[in-house]
Amino acid sequence: MGLRRLRQLGRSMGRLNKSLNNFKFLEKRARGANSGFRRKNEFKVRRGFRVRRRSRRILSKARSIQGPLDFFLEEDGYTSITVGLALVVSLVLMFGLVAVQWSSSKAADIQNVADAAALSGEQDVKAFTTVAQVSDACVLTLGLTGMFVLGAGLITSAVPGLQEAGVSLTKAGAKILKSRSDFAKSAASGLEKLEKLLPAAIAINAFATTAANSEGNLNYLGTGIPFPESSLSQYDLGDSLDTKDLEEKSDALAKKSAEAEANQKEMKEAQERAWRADCIDDPYCMRSRADSLAHLSPAQNPHYAIPDNWSFGVALSRSRAYYQARAALETAATSSVEEQSNSAMRKAFYQFAAKEMQAGYYIENADGTVSLSLPDLPHNTEETKASKLFSETTWPKSSEGGQSILHAYSACPGAHGLSGSATLSEAESVGFGLCSVCQFDVAAMGKTASASTNINNGYEHYWRIVVEESKKYQDAKNKYEQEMKEMKGLAEEGADAFDKAIKALGVKRPRICPPGAWGVIGVVVRGETDLPQALETAFSKTQPLPEGVAIAGATLAVDANSAENTVLARFFEGTKAADATEDEDFGGALGSIFDGICGVWSSLLVGYQAGFGKISDVGNSLFDGLRAAAAGPLAGWLSNKLSSIVSALGLEPADLRLRKPVLCNTQDILSKDGFDISRMSDVVQALPSSGSLGDLLASFSRQVSESFGEEEISIADLPIPGTSIKIPLTISVKKLLGVL
């Protein structure tokens, strides 16, 4: 029964009810049942009706219709016919309204089914987009991890003593980048294959959702249409990075660093041996002998507990003060000729040594090298002849029997007729005679120096050690600084290679635009449907529910309630991580220095969504840690250089915020593709009109599976940096298509 007919029936029932009430009143009035009517212009009647006082006309009219009203009315109320007629009309009205309500409800349900179909299709787009975005994040962060490890290897190679670890780190970084390249190529291939399945997956899942909403004789038929209809993605997840130059610079740094390490070791050992001779009693040292013999003040005779702050300049300053004090304090202990002679020779030696110390120098140059000259004091006859003590120091000379004789001191009892002075060199070249009393000659002078040099309680014994070690120190120190200068050049070249390589990470980035990226439109058709048999009664004649069509749009929107990195947290959603496999030639025994590599990658991956600021912080933190652990100006310079390169890089991270399908205006989707709405009828007509929905769904699934010849699609083998583990990631085709 149509809605218009129901409305007409309602109005007729209202008029009938009103007439029955008026007729009943008129009948009672005509019979005189109400003789108490007041004769006025107006009088009140039952149910609030007011009539003018025209008694005769009313009574005449009542009498004229009294016969038909008897069919419906009697003195005590309505007749049975009246009651039955009212019941019939009420039943007709009630069943008619129920049919209208059922038809209206079922007619509106088709829009809900279309909404569900669109959301179901877009759910597949969400799953694919998540895999693609995370693959991009893994490729970039693996590349950054490899570059950071390479940078760490470069820095460590520049530290003498850690060059072997630096070479190993460099190799590990190169291997991570190789793994990254393999993963990128595999992921690109897997994503392209998976994307080809996406239109079928969208259509099938939307088709299944539509079918699931059918019930009884109410059948829905529909599917989902992705927009864009075909892929616009570009899977440039990253080519292999050329790190050959960087590796060569790291190797060259390591070789120079090994040479520098040897010189640094020699330099430190020489410094420590000299420091011990100067400051540490074993059984004596220069400091303790200077305190006992020259009585120097603490300022002139300082003590250094460790060699770090000590230098050869300290020993030189101490010796200058020592020999000046010894020369000033030297006197003969007795009046014997031997003591007087020895005292004179000692004094001459101290004065000679004081002059030599003044001529000595220790200079630390601006380029790190040292200019060092500590005087060698003679300790035997041959060394005395080679010193200024032999050629410049003068001694008293006398002439006896026509022959010149040198004496140790002028008051020598054997000196008769002193005639000036001469040097030991002159005495030897001319052939002076030997004094029979003091017996002074070059050999006697040589013994004076030898006595305090060859025994461990003499100041000269320890000074000789300092002088010998100073020569080794100067040679090693200057070679070390030259090597560090060459390493600085290599480090600059390595930093340039690092800059070039890390910038290549951001040159090619994927453009992810699969079918359905703009949205999915669900199209649902409902055929003509008969009303349920329960509504088919003698009181109502029903019409079938006519055919209906509905469309709905769904797209992906950022989930405002999703926590940071939720996509990463669900990285394995919809995938199967097979048992980890090991890459045997990765080299798992690189040592504890690589324990943190996986942590570096984890930090990069976790901080990836928050922006490049956090990514650069990871690199800077790594380099800062190396700078603190590996002391040295070159390591510090290189760390700062690489940190500035990373900070200035500014790679754009992927948007990894969690997304969810939401309903949207279909026109928003269609306008992006230039899709003509009239084409929607072609899609509707192309839908199958017969066959089991389950059979059709299974048929679609089989076609897809046969097309690709496999039940699972391998996306890639994800390498775990710093380990030999790889995790194969696969997508189940059946799960994707909803066929479990």
**End-to-end Cα, the chain, rounded Å:** 46
The DSSP output letter for 716 is: E
CA atoms of 181 and 141, how far apart (whole Å): 12
Please report the pLDDT score of residue 498 as a whole number.
83
Please report the pLDDT score of residue 84 as a whole number.
64
Angle between helices 612-629 and 633-649 in degrees, nearest 10: 180
Please report the pLDDT score of residue 655 as a whole number.
63
CA atoms of 202 and 688, how far apart (whole Å): 17
Query: β-strand 725-732 against 712-719: which pairing, if any?
Result: antiparallel
Please report the pLDDT score of residue 579 as a whole number.
41
413: cis peptide before it, omega within 30°? no
Please report the pLDDT score of residue 244 as a whole number.
83
Strand partners, 394: 423
Q: Are 487 and 256 in contact (CB under 8 A)?
A: yes
CA atoms of 513 and 148, how far apart (whole Å): 31
- Enumerate helices (H) and strands (E) in the chain, giving the number of each: 22, 18
3-state secondary structure 307-361: CCCCCHHHHHHHHHHHHHHHHHHCCCCCCCHHHHHHHHHHHHHHHHHHHHHHHCE
Half-sphere exposure of 538 (CA within 13 A, CB side): 1
Q: 689-703 as b/e, with b when 16 or more CB fall inside 10 Å?
A: eeeebeebbeebbee
Q: What angle do CA 3, 5, 8 make, to 5 degrees?
A: 115
228: cis peptide before it, omega within 30°? yes
Instruction: List, as own/partner pairs, every contact residues 454-461 make where C-beta atoms lie below 8 angstroms and the sequence separation is at least 24, other chains included.
Output: 454/379, 456/283, 456/284, 457/283, 457/284, 457/289, 458/289, 459/286, 459/289, 459/290, 459/293, 459/322, 460/377, 460/379
Residue with tokens 């912080």: 617
**What are 93's two structure tokens?**
């009205």
Phi, then psi, of 499 in degrees rounded to 5 = -60, -45
Angle between helices 337-359 and 312-329 in degrees, nearest 10: 150
CA atoms of 160 and 400, how far apart (whole Å): 68
CA atoms of 163 and 173, how far apart (whole Å): 15
Nearest Cα residue to 330 out of 318, 319, 315, 340: 340
Please report the pLDDT score of residue 343 as a whole number.
94
Nearest Cα residue to 652 out of 550, 484, 507: 507
3-state secondary structure 23-53: HHHHHHHHCCCCCCCCCCCEEECHHHCEEEC
Give the three-class secondary structure for 712.
Answer: strand
Nearest Cα residue to 568 out of 618, 605, 600: 605
**How would DSSP label each residue in 187-227?**
HHHHHHHHHHHHHHHHHHHHHHHHHHT-BTTB-EEEEEEEE
CA atoms of 131 and 110, how far apart (whole Å): 33
Give the three-class secondary structure for 364.
Answer: strand
Q: Are 419 and 411 in contact (CB under 8 A)?
A: no
Please report the pLDDT score of residue 51 as a whole number.
41
- The stretches in the chain having pLDDT less than 50 are 1-10, 12-13, 16, 19-20, 23, 26-27, 30-66, 538, 563-566, 569, 571-595, 611-613, 691-694, 696-697, 699-701, 703, 707-709, 739-740
Please report the pLDDT score of residue 586 as a whole number.
32
Please report the pLDDT score of residue 250 as a whole number.
86
At 565, which amino acid appears?
N
Please report the pLDDT score of residue 70 as a whole number.
59
Please report the pLDDT score of residue 40 as a whole number.
39
Please report the pLDDT score of residue 257 as a whole number.
86
Please report the pLDDT score of residue 7 as a whole number.
47
Nearest Cα residue to 588 out of 168, 220, 35, 98: 168
Nearest Cα residue to 574 out of 66, 205, 322: 205
Give the three-class secondary structure for 391.
Answer: helix
3-state secondary structure 239-289: CCCCCHHHHHHHHHHHHHHHHHHHHHHHHHHHHHHHHHHHHCCCCCCHHHH
Please report the pLDDT score of residue 646 as a whole number.
72
**What are 247's two structure tokens?**
């590796």
CA atoms of 184 and 172, how far apart (whole Å): 18
Please report the pLDDT score of residue 623 as a whole number.
63
CA atoms of 11 and 293, how far apart (whole Å): 138
Nearest Cα residue to 424 out of 377, 382, 374: 382
Q: Are 310 and 279 in contact (CB under 8 A)?
A: yes
Q: What share of the chain is helix, strand, coil (3-state, %, to 5)?
A: 60, 15, 30
Query: β-strand 575-577 against 581-582: which pairing, if any?
Result: unpaired
Q: Are 525 and 625 in contact (CB under 8 A)?
A: no
Strand ranges (DSSP E) for 546-638? 548-558, 575-577, 581-582
What are the C-alpha distances in Å from 260 to residues 249, 257, 263?
16, 5, 5
Nearest Cα residue to 457 out of 614, 285, 609, 334: 285
